[in-house]
Structure 1
């Protein structure tokens, strides 16, 4: 059974955060938040998997749950966590019951037309928004959403 988001978000690993700060000094001040967002992403990934298993025909769940390019900083935090192999494995086992593999090229192995990608992204954003709220969507896609908002106003 999937633990609550609050239970998973209680997990901290200062070593991962410090290592990330050394490797990405321009993100030093936001590293703790990026760690939290990475944990949030992992939890939502498992929730989506669970929801899809329970409702395989649900159209709103029919999308690839992937780390989008706009989320690169969160993905880099995941890479930093994976380097602490014992701790990462223990985290996965404790909270999700199994090791969570990182598959970096899922989107590339599942080719989509631009239209299919747009639908997929829309479903991903809707699911994220409905489950975690607007703040999370803005944290994950922040400046990219602002760019689109500005383009919409200018049009």
Structure 2
């Protein structure tokens, strides 16, 4: 059960995924590539944690959940679309990680005032910092949310239906 490097993982391409994502969101090509790169990095770090838990099951620092915080919403949206390509997603995980990377939704009732949740976040942040560095941690926990705020993501969302004449139905132009 070998895992490929982050560099190898980032080389993976899936044009169909990006075309499908564009049905829901009207991001530029540059933004789509950026978001896809961050998703692949997110999946890689989750797989790395799984491998480390197998190798060192006694290491308590490895037992935490990855949380899709509001700043990561755009990555999560692309992940949802990737999962719809079930066979491709499964094959990607197997080829690049040797394990299937599960998606677990965030639980809105968890608060920073909860010591268990706070400890979980601290472990997660340290793991990201340790393996991807402070720039990625800052990007994911802050900068990404500023570049792609939830309000922008919500306003760019295109409903799966179409208006008369085949036009995409957005929040702005729905009947």
Do these two structures clear the TM 0.5 threshold for a shared fold by scoring above it? Answer: yes
* Aligned twin of 2:141: 141
Structure 1 residue runs of 5 or longer lacking an equivalent are: 147-155
* Aligned twin of 1:86: 87
1:69 is displaced (CA, Å) by 3.5
8 A Cα contact 2:46 2:101, kept in partner: no
Q: Which has the larger radius of gyration?
A: 2
Q: How does 1:114-133 map to 2 (within 5 A)?
A: 114-133=114-133
* Aligned twin of 1:149: none
Structure 1 residue 55 corresponds to structure 2 residue 56:
yes
- Structure with the bigger percentage of helix: 1
CA RMSD of aligned residues (A): 2.7
The 10-residue stretch of structure 1 (8-17 or 92-101) with the greater mean CA deviation from structure 2: 92-101
The 10-residue stretch of structure 1 (46-55 or 13-22) with the greater mean CA deviation from structure 2: 13-22
Q: Deviations over 1:15-60 (max 9, x none)?
A: 21232233122x4341211111111111111110111222223232
- Give, in whole Å, the separation in 1 of the partners of 2:99 and 2:122: 29
8 A Cα contact 2:36 2:75, kept in partner: yes
Task: Calculate the TM-score normalised by the size of structure 1.
Answer: 0.77
CA gap of 1:143–1:94, structure 2 versus 1, over 3 A, is closer
- Give, in whole Å, the separation in 2 of the partners of 1:126 and 1:67: 16
- Give, in whole Å, the separation in 1 of the partners of 2:18 and 2:108: 29
8 A Cα contact 1:138 1:145, kept in partner: no
The 10-residue stretch of structure 1 (109-118 or 36-45) with the greater mean CA deviation from structure 2: 109-118
- Give, in whole Å, the separation in 2 of the partners of 1:32 and 1:70: 17
* Aligned twin of 1:96: 97
Structure 2 residue runs of 5 or longer lacking an equivalent are: 147-175
Task: Calculate the TM-score normalised by the size of structure 2.
Answer: 0.69
